[in-house]
Amino acid sequence: MARRAASAPGSRRTALGKAGPALRFAAAAATVLLLASCSTAPVAPPEPAPTDTVAPFSTAQPGAALPRGWHRWIITPAKRPTRYDLVRDPLNGQIVLHAVADNAATGLRQRLDVDPAAAPVVRWQWRVVDLIDGADATDRHAEDSPVRLLLFFDGDAAKLPARELLLMETARALTGQLPPYATLIYSWDNKLPAGSVVDNAHTGRVKLVVAGSGRDRLGQWKVFERDYAADYRRAFGEAPGRLIGVGILTDTDNTGRKVEAFYGDITLGPATRP
């Protein structure tokens, strides 16, 4: 059974409490602006229309451009870019995405249009080479991860608290786009047990679910299958709206470390029958 991760003494809750309302709001606005950037279209080339499937990496060629639909996700120009390359993995012989972050934080994303009721399960593969020393999902100053899978959802923003609405309107004023109504993140953690739910330090519209943790089979491929619709209900307390995007992110900008990891294909579909 998953649990909600508690903040350690002196962690984000204490730090934010001492920061003052203005600074806390600024930090929250920065987080929402980060997520708003996932919905802004690059100048060129224009993004394809959203689809109901995630473009696979395995059908590409080593060294080729990203599969159609995938685009680089620049969180902020101040962040160093994570390097993403299509390679043939020496362990399984498949074409996969190789990520290397050296004090860096940029990602990849693709637009989707999926009804979670029809395809509530997400399946994917990761190969985590090593953990990030000092990374801690419950500490906003150290919340790095070698691998993340992000799911972006639509919803009725009118029912959100005034503070969240103000953050979203701030993002729209600065980027020209509203951020996603909600973001669910799957991550590899240093120590939290799989299934743990971690609240974002800045906004209630972002929740993290630990998919795997520790040194269990580091360096080997691991296959994951999650009922993201159920995880969403558990994390946000309501049914998910339409799934409007998917992203991946390998980042080490908070810890300043270097890490590499590998991503396999991501698929959406119905629950597996017994």
**Chain segment 48-101, per-residue pLDDT in tens:** 889 999 999 999 999 999 999 999 998 778 899 999 999 999 999 999 999 999
Q: Which two tokens stand for residue 223?
A: 């296959």
pLDDT for the residue numbered 7: 36
- Encoded amino acid at 254, one letter: N
pLDDT at residue 187, rounded to an integer: 97
Tell me what pLDDT residue 173 has.
81
Across the range 138-148, mean pLDDT stands at 95
Measured between alpha carbons, how far is residue 66 from residues 63, 130, 144 in Å? 9, 25, 24
Cis check: omega of the bond before 45, within 30 degrees of 0: yes
Fold of 12-269: Jelly Rolls (2.60.120)
Q: For residue 16, what pLDDT is reported?
A: 35
> Does residue 6 surpass a pLDDT of 60?
no
Average pLDDT, the chain: 86
Backbone angles phi, psi at 218, to 5 degrees: -60, 140
Average confidence (pLDDT) over 178-185 = 93
pLDDT tier for residue 18 given thresholds of 50, 70 and 90: very low
The model's pTM is 0.84
pLDDT exceeds 50 at position 115: yes
Tell me how far apart the alpha carbons of residues 198 and 97 are, in angstroms, rounded to a whole number.
26
pLDDT of residue 34: 55
Within 10 Å of residue 130's Cβ, how many Cβ atoms? 14
Express each pLDDT in 235-261 by its tens digit: 999 999 999 999 999 999 999 999 999
pLDDT grade for 170, boundaries at 50, 70 and 90: confident
pLDDT for 22 beyond 50: no
pLDDT for res 128: 97
Quote the pLDDT of residue 223: 97
What DSSP designation does 29 have?
H
Q: What is the mean pLDDT of residues 104-132?
A: 97
* Three-class secondary structure assignment of 145-200: ECCEEEEEECCCHHHCCHHHHHHHHHHHHHHCCCCCCEEEEEEEECCCCCCCEEEC
User: Does the pLDDT of residue 19 top 60, yes or no?
Assistant: no
What does the pLDDT read at residue 1?
40
